[in-house]
Amino acid sequence: MVRVTGSHEPYQGWNLLWTAFDIGAEGNIAVWFAATMWLLVGALAALAALTSDRFRTSWWLFAVVAVIASADEAAALHERLFYVGDRLAPALPGDLYYSWVIPGTAIAFVVAALLLRLVLALRTRVTIWLIGSAVVFLLGALVIESVSGIVERDQGRSDLYVAIMYVEETFELIGVAWAVIALASMFSLTRRHGGLTLAFDGFPPSPAETGPGRPGEA
């Protein structure tokens, strides 16, 4: 849009507005929003650790991962992984321009392995939503990001690169927003005795809770 309107001057009104909300830029409201969404994921995971009677260590790990992801959104910490990626890249097939995705993918697999038991133990709806959110986010952060790196290497920051970059950022935002919705759905808020009561309801009922002949709600 900035290119179409010709608003390239750094202090031109439209450019100031666009760059404040540009999801492809750094250090603006869009970055603050993405970082805040990750903090919400961390807060909800921490709340689950405090209110759930199962997998508390895994919930705390979930919270820590989300807070680190929030810091990464704000400070682009993943770009420090180029140091590792550049040394691993020669041993792998292909030619990734953004070599940080190599250690980044390894980290993603480790986190997924550590949290898999927790996620699979949740209600079916929450499990599907969390896995879906992770797939969408990682598709943007690792796969589409890799494609944009190859395009940047071959064409520079062309219109095609910009388009792919916006798709990548959109996938990441959708993924983290979906995770917030999934985690928030595990809690119920009820009014009792003039106050509000927050209850965790993320796990399906056990057979003892449902009774014979009454399968637990998914």
pTM over 0.85: no
Tokens standing for 180?
């917030």
pLDDT by residue (tens digit) across 118-177?
A: 999 999 999 999 999 999 999 999 999 999 999 998 898 888 989 999 999 999 999 999
The three-state secondary structure class of 181 is helix
pLDDT by residue (tens digit) across 70-88?
A: 999 988 888 888 888 888 8
First to last CA, the chain: 45
3-state secondary structure 38-87: HHHHHHHHHHHHHHCCCCHHHHHHHHHHHHHHHHHHHHCHHHHHHHHHHH
d(C-alpha 146, C-alpha 154), whole Å: 13
* Residue 137 amino acid letter: F
d(C-alpha 90, C-alpha 95), whole Å: 8
Q: What percent of the chain has pLDDT over 90?
A: 54
Query: Between 18 and 64, whose confidence is greater?
Result: 64
What is the DSSP-derived secondary structure letter of residue 139?
I
